[in-house]
Structure 1
Amino acid sequence: MVKCTTCGNRWRAFQDRSVPESEKPEEEMLVEGPRPEPTPADDIDFIAAPAVPERKPPVRKKTPRGVVVGVSLVAVLGVALGGIILFRQHVATLIPATAPVFAAIGLPVNTLGLVIEGVKSQPTFQAGRPVLSVTGAIRNVNKVSTEAPPMRIGLLDRTGKTVAGVLVQPLNAKIPPGATRYFAISLPDPPAGAEELDIAFEPAAKGPAAPAAPAADHAAPAAAPAPVEAQPLPANSPDALKTHEQH
């Protein structure tokens, strides 16, 4: 049906047979429409990002010069003190007055080069008398011969107080380098409250010291009293024998 757009009449229209079937109308082509033009940059709203504050490097505080000098001085003194403690033996040998200082801080030094070792004590009897036998050895650690000074033997109670003691001089006191001398000392009548033995050299001892006593097993026998001739009692003594007169 075909309708006229002007008069409104309608009629039937038929396909023209003269047109070959092979000639078909061209397929409808799809034509892409014009693309939208890009929006100008002026129409775009730009939002500014929040400003990040620039990090400034931290300001280094200058150390006062006095602090630097003080730290350096402490370091130097520490190194010097460590060297003195490490070589205190040589320091005390050159300056003997420093030996008591080292001993006071718990770092005793051996200025003599002699060592007392192997000390043993044993209670025993000599001629029926109680004694404390003390034995030990003196070793020379020097490279030269050294004479042993007197030794002080002391007995201490539980509080550390000396309750008995004696000053003795070792026999054959000159000791060759690396050699050892043995000693045996007897302390008569040791107090009952003695609990500790203290033995040390006494270089500053004044006056002659008693020689070391022999060991307990080599003690000399006690001297017996000299015999006394018996005499008769006086006649007037009540214990005198009565005499009988001859008649």
Structure 2
Amino acid sequence: MTITCPSCEASYRISPETLGGGRKVRCARCRTQWFASPEPEPELIAPGAPEVELDPIPSLEDAHFIDAVDSVEAERQRAAPDAGQAEAAVGARRWFAPRSRLPSTAAPRRARRPSRRIILKVRPVAVAAALGVAACGIVVGERVALVRAAPSLASLYAAVGLPVNVRGLSIDELKSVEEIEEGVPLLLVTGVVRNDSREAVDVPRLRLAVTGGGDRELYAWTTVAARAKLAPGESAAFRARLASPPADGRGIAVRFLARRDLVASAAR
């Protein structure tokens, strides 16, 4: 069969078996590449139809013809030329090689390196331990906020040796002295209130109590500190007197007045 270059219209004769269902070829004259397909089956000419005179195709010996070269074969010839052979000779005939026999010119693909994925295996015991440490840190570090939200937790913290100071105030340098003034016994109690927090705090009233055996309260009264509000790190002294204290008193207990004390006083 005959194929024609779409650019320079040069014609070439090749075997239909070589062309197969179609393949890519290159013109040896103008280097144009195109996809050559087999010719369709010739139609039957009806009897009596006029004959059409076609121009003869030049033979292979014509000097104006150059064989068509398969594109893959041409690339191989250009990449590794042979000094003893010319690329194309006038009148030479070259058949197309079957596709299965063509050497592959594609560069081999590099094998992809498997991506390295670092998978950390975390043991449940380690996770539980980490969560336990974090929970302990919150329970210990935020115990003031927890006791403010649930005052009943104060006794639990005190039982494990972690007393919670919700007010941010402390009572220090507590002293008690008994005196006689005009023939009357007099109990004098002194101390200091200190602000241990990082913010200014109002100083509530102080509640003092004379205790007997078993820390039983015998008598209680209140007093105020020298200053009603303390900045961080500041302190204020307080002084309280009680005439004719209980004779069986054994100690003095001082704390800040709480709401329960007011409720108990109102109930009496």
How high is the TM-score relative to the length of structure 2? 0.44
Identify which of structures 1 and 2 has the higher relative contact order when contacts are C-alpha pairs closer than 8 Å and 6+ apart: 1
Larger Rg: 1
